Amino acid sequence: MSVGSCTLEIPADHPAFAGHFPGHPIVPGVVLVDAAARAIAAALGLGEPCWQIGSVKFVRPVSPGETLRLSWKAPAASGAIAFSIDTAGQPVASGTLTPRAPVGRDSA
């Protein structure tokens, strides 16, 4: 089993903030999941896999500039990676991701 953690940085000038939501920006859930997947893939040496999302639960909005902590557990048998994200000890999101081989593109 592989266990790890790291800090996630979502830049305050991330383009998703412009429309999510004007006057009261919050980090979109897809940005959180993407940041988590990229960090886990880099830490585990997975390259750039496609991901199957088993489940994701968002429990608290995240504002620009918040320091986020990502933790994960990757059991060898199932292939699913359980992750959680928190800020200042408060849970933000959790779920499971399973890396999959990238789908080939038809060149025709």
What is the per-residue pLDDT across 2-29, written as a single tens digit (0 to 9) for each? 899 999 999 989 999 888 888 889 999 9
Q: Which of 6, 16, 20, 96 is the catalytic position?
A: 20
Say what percent of the chain tops pLDDT 90. 69
Q: Look at residues 35, 44, 41, 42 and name the one whose alpha carbon lies nearest to residue 69.
A: 35
**Cβ–Cβ < 8 Å for 36, 85:** yes
Task: Copy the structure tokens of residue 8.
Answer: 């996630």
Q: Is 24 a catalytic residue?
A: no
Q: Domain with 50 in it: what CATH number?
A: 3.10.129.10
Q: Is the pLDDT of residue 96 over 80?
A: yes
Domain count across the chain: 1
pLDDT-derived band of residue 107, with 50, 70 and 90 as boundaries? very low
pTM of the model: 0.88
| Domain with 6 in it | 2-100
Assigned domain for 107 exists? no
What is the per-residue pLDDT across 22-57, written as a single tens digit (0 to 9) for each? 888 999 999 999 999 999 999 999 988 899 999 999
What is the per-residue pLDDT across 81-92, written as a single tens digit (0 to 9) for each? 999 999 999 999
A 10 A CB-CB count for 55 gives 10
